[in-house]
Amino acid sequence: MPAVSKGDGMRGLAVFISDIRNCKSKEAEIKRINKELANIRSKFKGDKALDGYSKKKYVCKLLFIFLLGHDIDFGHMEAVNLLSSNKYTEKQIGYLFISVLVNSNSDLISLINNAIKNDLSSRNPTFMNLALHCIANVGSREMAEAFAAEVPRILVAGDTMDSVKQSAALCLLRLNRTSPDLVLMGEWTARVVHLLNDQHLGVVTAATSLITTLAQKSPEDFKTSVSLAVARLSRIVSSASTDLQDYTYYFVAAPWLSVKLLRLLQCYPPPEDGAIRGRLTECLETILNKAQEPPKSKKVQHSNAKNAVLFEAISLIIHHDSEPTLLVRACNQLGQFLQHRETNLRYLALESMCTLASSEFSHEAVKTHIETVINALKSERDVSVRQRAVDLLYAMCDRSNAKQIVAEMLSYLETADYSIREEIVLKVAILAEKYAVDYTWYVDTILNLIRFAGDYVSDEVWYRVIQIVINRDEVQGYAAKTVFEALQAPACHENLVKVGGYILGEFGNLIAGDSRSSPLIQFDLLHSKFHLCSVPTRALLLSAYIKFINLFPEVKGTIQEVLRSDSQLRNADVELQQRAVEYLRLSSIASTDILATVLEEMPPFPERESSILAKLKRKKGPGNLHPDLDENRKERSANGGTADHSSTTSNAKSSPLSFVGDLLAPASTAPPTNRPRPVSSSYLLQAPLTPIPPQASAVPVLLSAGPLFQVAASPTPSTDLLGLGSTITTQNSAPPASKGTSLLVDVFSENIAAFPVETPVAVGPVADENFSRFVCKNNGVLYENQLLQIGLKSEFRQNLGRMYVFFGNKTSTQFMNFAASVVCQDTLQAQLNVHAKPADPTVDGGAQLQQILNIECMSDFVDAPVLNIQFRYGGTLQNVAVKLPITLNKFFQPTEMTSQDFFQRWKQLGAPQQEVQKIFKAKHSMDTEVTKAKIMGFGAALLDGVDPNPSNFVGAGVIHTKTTQVGCLLRLEPNTQAQMYRLTLRTSRDTVSQRLCDLLSEQF
């Protein structure tokens, strides 16, 4: 490029620039610039035509001012005029101004395009080059539209000069990057590929860049370039360093071209043609050999160029991943670099080794460098290199060296740079889990992890350790012991307290035998950390305490004292307060049996993807992970907790929940309806596992039992332990909800709305899905749809009963013309007397309406009365019919009797019509406590020590009706092996026997 000759120098520009440089302050500079701008404006404004020189000078000044950071909003026209000049310098300044200042949507663009077109079609190579540079520098869509067809033509034309070809290739590359859709190679492809054979190395270099980009887009079209590239590469590699003249850089032959060719080859798999393949292998070997040769120069440029080619060759070898010898050689070469003086080389070596480690051929070879890498981790000064060393250790880890690597990483963690600690923690956690042969080692490792770098241990890590401890019986005792010991340190990290609280709460009993870790000591230890912890941890600790009450009844007093203290019971935090209140209540009201069921050990977690791994993936992107990780996990999940095991435990838990509801109902002042609380996640989680009809399980638990159950049995949303509940809820909650209440009721409401208003008594389909749940209990939610929730609270004495029905308006608008009536059909009218007290005709949005029903049992009955509800919501009349759970057993009066009495009576009722027997399969798990509770809920007295077989249940009672009293004996014989029950009922009246048997057998 001809330099601006001295005679052509712009004195005015030089003076202006030196003025600016001499300005003492910013203000002075601005003043000078303003003055100059005014001068230029007046010059451009003048009607007299400026000559090319002064135009160039002023445009140059404007450009300088613009580059100083000031806005320029004129002079564009003058710059465009310069384009048509025949002088090189003027044209150059014009193009310069346009590439820097003209934005793509300028209205001058057509003028500019015209000028460029003229230059492109001129035969002058310098002008053509200027035009091509301008196109590439602006590179806008408009440019691409205008010249996408023109540039390739110049590129492949036979008579184009080499320097123009170079520019054209790079210009095309740029256009292809900005608007790939406009650059269509099509017919030019073959000729562009052929450029790789060009005599001029500059053209080849430019063309290689272009082809690499195009090949990434459409590999098929440029497949032929592989053989050409290999040929070219081998020619370069084998050439003597002096052959290439201008293109030899510090004794390295054409390093840039070599690197680009190697990159191009990385777009394709190894060549199939043996000859080409052999030639390529030869090239790569030569490059590796050259790396071994002593350097020809001590200059850093020489080694840089050589290593650049070498590293590119290694990444090609890794990309092909097919030649074991090459891979091993590459690995050895990198091993040498690991101890190189140059930090950059060490970094690059570690980085390349990471990828090498994932190849099956070189994995072993990489492992030989473990000592060096560990050394690098310890002694390296540059944190980014240390980071790579950690990556490499992670990548090279397998079963054989896991313990060593994890130990090294842990010891490094203490001194590690803060920026990479979290990542190391995640990696240690994953490696420890993945290669753990012995889970005590795993538990130790994670606890150490929390101790060394508690702040960097994310929730996922400690969730995971708990999941694993819970799912593996063999480590539970050890874990409890280790945690207990770890907690004795005066300062513990909060995460350790969390793990400790959880594990001791679950498995504290396993170490309670030792006098050094007696229950009280365990509790005191946990409680000593309580006040230093954040709210979620405290909440977790409270749950651990209530579990302690279950595990160790002897500390109940101490714990209740703690729960009762003002700092808990009146805590400003709602969550803590609620837990304290509910746990205290639970612990003082519930019997040990109920406590035992409510606070049972957590069921094993279903195996699923480790959340830690997911977190690491999120952190690093998918590329950096070991490919075999996933398989490994699958294999482990297969032998993890079995499905039937978990189903039995959770089954046991779903039934007592209704009793918890009963327990708390009288204590609570809150009405049973209208709590806009989401159904407990754990509850839904169990739904598909239990044989309870799905719709039943979708109904929220009565009253405050809902929240209580959430905390007692399983995590609340706020302390969603292990993040299990939330994900599973979303999977499982949908089917029962849609199958159950909501869908069903939707159908009803439409049907009922279609009924004529005049026949309100006409009963549509009667909702009775919750009916059976009320056989053994008196309170709860009977019915719920989008608008209305019906709750019940009832009490019975002898042949009389009173039922409180709560109608909760779930919407925000008022229900009008509300009316509820009880209908006893046919024979029932004579058997049962139900009197409903009238209630208000309106229910406000969000409010509740209470209605009292007085019930009198005249004689024994089979059917149940139906509650008809009518109201106007919005414009439509809604009609709901629900079966009221008034069953014969409600009028049961328990009778205590001795074994002798019982069998005497049993024999008295020996007539065949008086006995009803039923053998049926268990629908729920066969838990003794649950069964006992159900029989008591049914109304009969449970007689202990009556039956010679202790596993059988025996009950007695009297059914009161107004007319008669019916004595009633029952016997339930469970068969655990066959999962069957045999139920025998003997009463003085055959209809009663039949009815009671039907009712009771539904419950198991």
Partner 1 sequence: MIGGLFIYNHKGEVLISRVYRDDIGRNAVDAFRVNVIHARQQVRSPVTNIARTSFFHVKRSNIWLAAVTKQNVNAAMVFEFLYKMCDVMASYFGKISEENIKNNFVLIYELLDEILDFGYPQNSETGSLKTFITQQGIKGQTKEEQSQITSQVTGQIGWRREGIKYRRNELFLDVLESVNLLMSPQGQVLSAHVSGRVVMKSYLSGMPECKFGMNDKIIIDKAGKGGVTNEAGKSTSGKQSIAIDDCTFNQCVRLSKFDSERSISFIPPDGEYELMRYRTTKDIILPFRVIPLVREVGRTKLEVKVVIKSNFKPSLLAQKIEVRIPTPLNTSGVQVICMKGKAKYKASENAIVWKIKRMAGMKESQISAEIELLPTNDKKKWARPPISMNFEVPFAPSGLKVRYLKVFESKLNYSDHDVIKWVRYIGRSGIYETRC
Task: Report d(CA 208, CA 517) in Å as an integer.
Answer: 73
Q: Name 783's bridge partners.
A: 790
Q: What are phi and psi of 853, to 5 degrees?
A: -110, 130
Region of residue 9 (left: phi > 0; alpha: psi -120 to 50; beta: else): beta
- Shortest distance (Å) from residue 147 CB to partner 1: 23
Task: Report d(CA 789, CA 133) in Å as an integer.
Answer: 76
> Which runs of consecutive H residues, i.e. helices, occur in 714-805?
724-732, 734-739, 741-754
- Shortest distance (Å) from residue 74 CB to partner 1: 5
Nearer to partner 1, 109 or 992 (CB): 109
- Shortest distance (Å) from residue 72 CB to partner 1: 9
With binding defined as CB under 8 A, does residue 39 bind partner 1?
yes
Cβ-Cβ contacts under 8 Å for 3 (sequence gap 6 or more): none
Determine the number of helices (DSSP H) and then strands (DSSP E) in the chain.
Answer: 47, 16
- Shortest distance (Å) from residue 44 CB to partner 1: 6
Nearer to partner 1, 35 or 797 (CB): 35
- Shortest distance (Å) from residue 419 CB to partner 1: 18
With binding defined as CB under 8 A, does residue 21 bind partner 1?
no
Nearer to partner 1, 71 or 566 (CB): 71
Nearer to partner 1, 31 or 835 (CB): 31
Q: Which among 932, 926, 936 has a CA at the least distance from the CA of 975?
A: 926
- Shortest distance (Å) from residue 19 CB to partner 1: 11
| 281, 235 Cβ separation under 8 angstroms | no
Nearer to partner 1, 74 or 418 (CB): 74
Near partner 1 by CB under 8 A, which window of 28-36, 216-224, 547-555, 568-576? 28-36
Nearer to partner 1, 35 or 87 (CB): 35
- One residue of 9, 15, 35, 628 binding partner 1 per CB under 8 A: 35
Q: Per-residue string for binding with partner 1, 43-72, x by CB under 8 A?
A: -xx-------------------------x-
Q: What number of other Cβ atoms are within 10 A of residue 789's Cβ?
A: 23
- Shortest distance (Å) from residue 27 CB to partner 1: 10
Nearer to partner 1, 32 or 277 (CB): 32
- Shortest distance (Å) from residue 38 CB to partner 1: 3
Task: Report d(CA 902, CA 120) in Å as an integer.
Answer: 115
With binding defined as CB under 8 A, does residue 920 bind partner 1?
no
- Shortest distance (Å) from residue 78 CB to partner 1: 11
- Shortest distance (Å) from residue 35 CB to partner 1: 4
With binding defined as CB under 8 A, does residue 76 bind partner 1?
yes
Task: Report d(CA 295, CA 367) in Å as an integer.
Answer: 29
- One residue of 4, 14, 15, 38 binding partner 1 per CB under 8 A: 38
Q: Which among 786, 782, 785 has a CA at the least distance from the CA of 771?
A: 782
Q: Which of residues 101-160 bind partner 1 (CB under 8 A)?
A: 106-108
Task: Report d(CA 862, CA 689) in Å as an integer.
Answer: 32
Q: What are phi and psi of 832, to 5 degrees?
A: -135, 135
How far apart, in Å, are the Cα atoms of 377 and each of 397, 742, 829?
A: 15, 60, 88
- Shortest distance (Å) from residue 189 CB to partner 1: 41
Near partner 1 by CB under 8 A, which window of 41-49, 114-122, 140-148, 433-441? 41-49
Nearer to partner 1, 44 or 88 (CB): 44
Task: Report d(CA 881, CA 901) in Å as an integer.
Answer: 45
Q: What are phi and psi of 107, to 5 degrees?
A: -80, -5
Nearer to partner 1, 44 or 268 (CB): 44
Element (H, E) at 804: strand 800-809
Task: Report d(CA 746, CA 740) in Å as an integer.
Answer: 10
Q: Which among 371, 284, 294 has a CA at the least distance from the CA of 328?
A: 284
With binding defined as CB under 8 A, does residue 381 bind partner 1?
no
- One residue of 6, 11, 21, 26 binding partner 1 per CB under 8 A: 26
Task: Report d(CA 563, CA 210) in Å as an integer.
Answer: 74
Near partner 1 by CB under 8 A, which window of 18-26, 353-361, 389-397, 559-567? 18-26
With binding defined as CB under 8 A, does residue 41 bind partner 1?
yes
- One residue of 4, 14, 22, 74 binding partner 1 per CB under 8 A: 74
Q: E strands within 861-1002?
A: 866-873, 876-883, 892-894, 915-921, 941-942, 953-960, 965-975, 980-987
Nearer to partner 1, 102 or 713 (CB): 102
- One residue of 9, 14, 34, 762 binding partner 1 per CB under 8 A: 34
- Shortest distance (Å) from residue 99 CB to partner 1: 17
Nearer to partner 1, 44 or 903 (CB): 44
- Shortest distance (Å) from residue 28 CB to partner 1: 9
Nearer to partner 1, 37 or 475 (CB): 37
HSE (CB half, 13 Å, CA atoms) of 188?
A: 22
Q: What number of other Cβ atoms are within 10 A of residue 634's Cβ?
A: 11
- Shortest distance (Å) from residue 29 CB to partner 1: 11
Nearer to partner 1, 15 or 157 (CB): 15
Q: Which among 805, 807, 804 has a CA at the least distance from the CA of 871?
A: 807
- The site that binds partner 1 (CB under 8 A) totals a number of residues, namely 21
Nearer to partner 1, 64 or 268 (CB): 64
Nearer to partner 1, 77 or 919 (CB): 77
- Shortest distance (Å) from residue 37 CB to partner 1: 8
- Shortest distance (Å) from residue 107 CB to partner 1: 7
- Shortest distance (Å) from residue 708 CB to partner 1: 49
Nearer to partner 1, 70 or 556 (CB): 70
Q: What is the DSSP letter of 678?
A: P
How far apart, in Å, are the Cα atoms of 958 and each of 536, 854, 987?
A: 51, 21, 9
Angle at 456 between CA 453 and CA 459, to 5 degrees: 120
Task: Report d(CA 805, CA 7) in Å as an integer.
Answer: 107
How far apart, in Å, are the Cα atoms of 769 and each of 482, 499, 882?
A: 49, 42, 9
- One residue of 10, 37, 156, 881 binding partner 1 per CB under 8 A: 37
- One residue of 19, 20, 32, 223 binding partner 1 per CB under 8 A: 32
Q: Which amino acid is residue 864, in one-letter code?
A: A
- Shortest distance (Å) from residue 15 CB to partner 1: 16
Tokens of 931: 């069964």
Cβ-Cβ contacts under 8 Å for 688 (sequence gap 6 or more): 694, 732, 735, 736
- One residue of 2, 21, 51, 73 binding partner 1 per CB under 8 A: 73
Nearer to partner 1, 75 or 791 (CB): 75
Element (H, E) at 801: strand 800-809
Write down how long the chain is.
1004
With binding defined as CB under 8 A, does residue 837 bind partner 1?
no
- One residue of 4, 9, 31, 666 binding partner 1 per CB under 8 A: 31
Tokens of 687: 């739904």
| 465, 499 Cβ separation under 8 angstroms | yes
Nearer to partner 1, 38 or 149 (CB): 38
Element (H, E) at 174: helix 162-178
- Chain positions contacting partner 1, by CB under 8 A: 24-26, 31-32, 34-35, 37-39, 41-42, 44-45, 71, 73-74, 76, 106-108
